[in-house]
Structure 1
């Protein structure tokens, strides 16, 4: 027998609001992780050059 529980149901409008909040949070997190200045600071000075210059 299937229960009809109205407490767990949300409207389409509420679902879109929640999805928007998660999308914004994901975008901010991605920007912080893939920040170009940090990536540049962590890269070696001569990528693809000699590993141990003499």
Structure 2
């Protein structure tokens, strides 16, 4: 049982590397989703207007 636990352990440096990669991917994903130019281009010209006009 103890051998099984020690196999799955990683060092602090490895953990920080993994967290850094996830953080970078999250930042890129957030930027792509919330990119203001792209959001502005996809919004309707009059977002508060009456759709039945």
Displaced runs of 4+ in structure 1, greater than 6 A? none
Q: Structure 2 CA distance, aligned partners of 1:44 and 1:13? A: 48
TM-score (norm 2): 0.79
Normalized per residue, the structure richer in helix is 2
User: Could you list the runs of 5+ residues in structure 1 that have no partner in the other structure?
Assistant: none
Over residues 1-54 of structure 1, what are the superposed CA-to-partner deviations in whole Å (9 max), with x where a residue is unaligned? xx112221101221111001100011101111221111111111011122133x
CA RMSD of aligned residues (A): 1.2
Q: Structure 2 CA distance, aligned partners of 1:8 and 1:38? A: 43
User: Could you list the runs of 5+ residues in structure 2 that have no partner in the other structure?
Assistant: none
